[in-house]
Structure 1
Amino acid sequence: MTDELTPEQARFYMASQWQMMWWKFRRHRIAVIAGIFLLVLYFVIIIAEFVAPYNLHSRDIDHIYAPPQAVQLFHEGSLRAPFVYGFKYHLDMENLQRVYERDKSQIHTIRWFCLGDEYEFWGMIPGRFHFICPAEDGTLFLFGTDRLGRDLFS
């Protein structure tokens, strides 16, 4: 018997720990998808000011504790550009809170790559260019608002 190694065996014999971990990781489909998702999240964190539709400090006192606005593509059966419906609210005097209802007569088309609220990129570089913006005189609260009327997504 000879102790000759085939090229495939030699590759495994000469591989470092990192190479073997990478080979094992690549075979696990869910791990690869989760890794890509994490990389996308890290990238978005780096450019968070650009991605957010509003400035971190901007407030809308007319929309305190507003629920999230779902992005829509269809209005009355027809395909449209991405949009959100506006809100109307009334005061519930029994519970002392605002009750929001979707107003399908108000359609706010989402704007992409537009000028919006001013921000400082990484706290140093002033800018106004955003990836996503609300319609003129409209709102875009993807995750809703807090008790001060600040957009939670921003």
Structure 2
Amino acid sequence: MSDHITDPASHAHDFEMNAEVATGPSLSYWQLVRKRFARNRTGVIGAIICCAIIFTALCAPFLAPYTPATKDRSAIYTPPQMPRFIAQDGGLTRPYVLGFAEEMHPVTYEITFQPSPEKRVDLALFVQGPEYQFLGMNFTTHFIGGAKGAPVHFLGTDGLGRDVFSRMLYGSRITLLMGMIVMGMACVIGTLVGVTSGYLGGRTDTVIQRVIEFVKSFPDLPLYLALVAVLPRRADPMLTFVMFAAIVVVLKWADLARELRGKVIAIRSVEFVRAAVAVGASDKRIIGRHIIPNMSSHIIVWATYVLPEVILLESFLSFLGVGIQQPMVSWGVMLNAVRDFQSLASAPWLLAPVGMIILSVLAFNALGDGLRDAMDPYSHD
């Protein structure tokens, strides 16, 4: 990835000079970045989708009609109930869904579901439903649901009668939380190690680089599986979550540290850093005021690329059953229920989290591409 990300902060002055000639008033570096990013349609769309996904995760208890553990024994493997706006007579009506009538094939004994107009359920906003906690307080109001408490399952139900749509919204919280934790910790560790290695040099740099090479010498996937396999199977789900996040952090920080080390070596020889050393500035001030700010754009872009990688990794390992464990809900845990062809054939709507995974990965990658182009002063509009 280091081949594709250009660190522009050290060339901010040239960037501002070119912009002043082209646009008139001189703008700061970050103002120019914001202006260039706003012209990138793909990046803006990606940013909007990313914000929507994060908002959905934060407000999942309110947006979801049910809690992830709510079960409806009378609606096992029920197909999705898509909202309708056209009445039977062809006119427009308030949004509603249709319930299903079960029919059994006389020969194969296969149960099929047919929409029944007699089981119409009108949709309503701000309905009362199962109790949930949000910001430490208990609530029973949900954004959308069936009028008068009638059951509604927009994306169907699973083998235990749990609402797939609600579980997918709750699952976004665990999946994104895993990504954010790994991204944040890897950024902190990678930045500290990379800056230390590049700035101090000498024996310290040699030792740190040998450690990084040792970490990067292991093949990622087999090492993930081997490390996760040693996690206690009967451990608390939260403990498993923390240990899983720690394992991923250990294997992600080395890439950033190696990239930043090379940039620090280049930055410490430029004029403003040498001038700071000449006037007697401390190492702490040089690193905090000159070196790290000039690498901030690279760190930001790296973070937007590593987040979708962690989302894919968590979903894949949880799908295999070696990642997040029940009763915690993530997109990968939901996909774990359709590992066999029989479940997939009888309830293909259980693959709905795949759509969220694809959407989030594409959105964060689009955001990363937009930020990379906006922060590169030598890229062409």
Q: Deviations over 1:54-92 (max 9, x none)?
A: 122111111111111110011121111111011111245
Gaps of 5+ in 1: none
The alpha-carbon distance between structure 1 residues 93 and 65, as it changes in their structure 2 partners (threshold 3 A), is farther
Counterpart of 1:40 in structure 2 is 52
Counterpart of 2:148 in structure 1 is 136
Point out the structure with the larger strand share: 1
Given that residues 87 and 102 in structure 1 are in contact (C-alpha distance below 8 angstroms), is that contact kept between their aligned partners in structure 2?
A: yes
Structure (1 or 2) with the larger CA radius of gyration: 2
The alpha-carbon distance between structure 1 residues 7 and 32, as it changes in their structure 2 partners (threshold 3 A), is closer
- Opposite residue 27 of structure 1, the aligned amino acid is R
Mapping of residues 43-58 of structure 1, within 5 Å: 43-58=55-70
Point out the structure with the larger helix share: 2
2 CA distance for matches of 1:148 and 1:54?
A: 14
Number of paired residues?
A: 146
SS of corresponding position for 1:107: strand
The alpha-carbon distance between structure 1 residues 9 and 113, as it changes in their structure 2 partners (threshold 3 A), is same
Using CA pairs under 8 Å that are at least 6 residues apart, name the structure with larger relative contact order, 1 or 2: 1
2 CA distance for matches of 1:58 and 1:128?
A: 13
2:67 is equivalent to residue 80 of structure 1:
no
2 CA distance for matches of 1:127 and 1:97?
A: 41
Q: TM-score, normalised by structure 1?
A: 0.82
SS of corresponding position for 2:148: coil
Q: Deviations over 1:82-124 (max 9, x none)?
A: 11011111245765653111112221001101221111225x3
- Opposite residue 31 of structure 2, the aligned amino acid is Q
- Runs (4+) of structure 1 exceeding 4 A deviation are 92-97
2:23 is equivalent to residue 8 of structure 1:
yes
2:33 is equivalent to residue 21 of structure 1:
yes
Counterpart of 1:119 in structure 2 is 132
2 CA distance for matches of 1:86 and 1:73?
A: 15
Candidates 151, 157, 162, aligned match of 1:145: 157
When the two chains are superposed, the root-mean-square deviation of aligned CA atoms in Å is 2.2
Counterpart of 2:79 in structure 1 is 67
Shift of 1:10: 5.7
Structure 1 residues 90-99 or 61-70, which shifts more?
90-99
Q: Deviations over 1:4-23 (max 9, x none)?
A: x7583562xx531x333322
- Opposite residue 23 of structure 2, the aligned amino acid is E
Percent identical residues: 30
2 CA distance for matches of 1:135 and 1:127?
A: 18
Counterpart of 2:344 in structure 1 is none
Gaps of 5+ in 2: 1-19, 167-381
